Amino acid sequence: MINDATLADTVRRLRLGERATLAQAMTLVESQHPRHQALSTRLLDAIMPFSGKALRLGITGTPGAGKSTFLEAFGMLLIRQGLRVAVIAVDPSSPVSGGSILGDKTRMTELARAEGAFIRPVPSGGHLGGACLRARELMLLCEAAGFDVVIVETVGVGQSETEVARMVDCFVSLQIAGGGDDLQGIKKGIMEMADLIVINKDDGENHNRVAIARHMYESALHILRRKYAEWQPQVLSCSALEKRGIDEVWQAICNFRAQLGASGRLQQVRQQQAVDWLQKQTEAQALELLFARDDFDRYYRQTLQAVKNNSLSPRTGLRHISEYLQNHYFE
Ligand code: GDP
């Protein structure tokens, strides 16, 4: 158990790469208990100087696209190269326990057993912002524990993709061809976020469909404005099942890192992500503090009710609330 007395030892053990300590540290960071939060803040401060060295990779895809099959093959490829790999699976569908899209234990069995790997599901507990907030901190813990590549995996539903894209260096979208799914990525704006698009299941009868999808994604990418001047997003295909094309994906990720690293862009992106994170959290915290005030909460609800009854226009409602804030909190 981590406590005040063992904090320094926890940091030391974490830096040695002890997986049991990493798991404990993650549990502490995930705890909502005020005492645990105070402790985990100190822990995160203590490990901060040792974070930042990993390649941060985001991977997204609809359920069934083959994320776990891909990550198993991809992760093992990296392990064989002597790299240590951590996977943080953010699952927007799962409550703290019970049914989930990502979290079941049968996923990535080989990787889960590998000495140099660490896999951690992050249930959303009905609050995705919270899960993503934690995922970023868990990523820092993995870095302090010496993992070379930290992968944040998420399902292609809801806000989680955007959130994950905001915490990684390289964002990979795993797609499948055919079945009307081809346009999903294009429609959903994933193209603007993805640094690499990988079309999975390029095997058996799928080959032609994959070639068509690939062409379509490439055309779409050429129309879009680039995310970075240094990098034209690439479209690749692979078969996670047959373990083909996985090496090429890793090569492309390495090229991406080399290009953005050389220009200093990667560092800029990380700085911006940290600032954005603080900004968002400050806003969330300010709102939380405000709504924790009974008087404001009451006034706010009354105003909402008045707008609902049509006795107040939304615009006048907003003016009333602004005036209330001015008069009560910003005199
Ligand atoms: P996830 O929900 O995105 O994690 O997807 P899974 O990795 O669980 O894969 C969903 C299904 O697709 C499983 O039945 C896999 O065996 C299958 N699958 C995954 N990758 C491939 C592939 O490259 N080719 C083929 N044919 N099937 C695959």
The CATH number of the domain where 201 resides is what?
A: 3.40.50.300
Measured from the CA of 71, which atom of ligand 1 is nearest? 7
Residue 288: give the domain boundaries: 278-329
| pLDDT score recorded for residue 64 | 87
Residue 243: inside a domain, yes or no?
yes
Percent residues over pLDDT 90 in the chain: 68
Over the chain, what is the mean pLDDT? 89
Confidence of residue 297 (pLDDT cuts 50, 70, 90): very high
Q: How far is the CA of 223 from the centre of ligand 1 (A)?
A: 30
Closest ligand 1 atom, residue 238 Cα: 23
Note the pLDDT tens digit of each residue in 242-266. Answer: 999 999 999 999 999 999 999 999 9
Tell me, in angstroms, the distance from the centre of ligand 1 to residue 115's CA: 24
| pLDDT above 80 (res 101) | no
Residue 72 Cα: closest atom of ligand 1: 7
Question: Ligand 1: which residue has its CA nearest to atom 9?
Answer: 66
Which residue has a Cα nearest atom 26 of ligand 1?
Answer: 201
**Which of 189-198, 235-244, 245-254 is predicted least confidently?**
189-198
In a domain, 271, yes or no: no
The CA distance from 193 to 189, in Å, is 7
- 9 with 114, same domain: the answer is no
How many domains is the chain built from?
3
Q: Indicate whether 269 belongs to any domain.
A: no
Q: Is residue 130 part of a domain?
A: yes
Same structural domain, 151 and 187: yes
Q: What is the pTM of this model?
A: 0.89
Question: Using 50, 70 and 90 to split pLDDT, how confident is the model at 39?
Answer: very high
pLDDT (0 to 100) of residue 94: 58
Shared domain for 91 and 219, answered yes or no, is: yes
Q: Residue 267 domain-assigned? A: no
- The residue whose CB lies within 8 Å of the most ligand 1 atoms, and thus the one to mutate among 241, 242, 244, is 241
pLDDT score of 133: 78
The band of 161, judged by pLDDT with boundaries at 50, 70 and 90, is: confident
Residue 249 lies in a domain: yes
Give the pocket of ligand 1 (CB within 6 Å).
Answer: 61, 63-69, 200-201, 203, 239-241
Does residue 71 share a domain with residue 183? yes
Query: In the numeric block, which tokens belong to residue 225?
Result: 């404005």
Rounded Cα distance, 41 and 238, in Å: 41
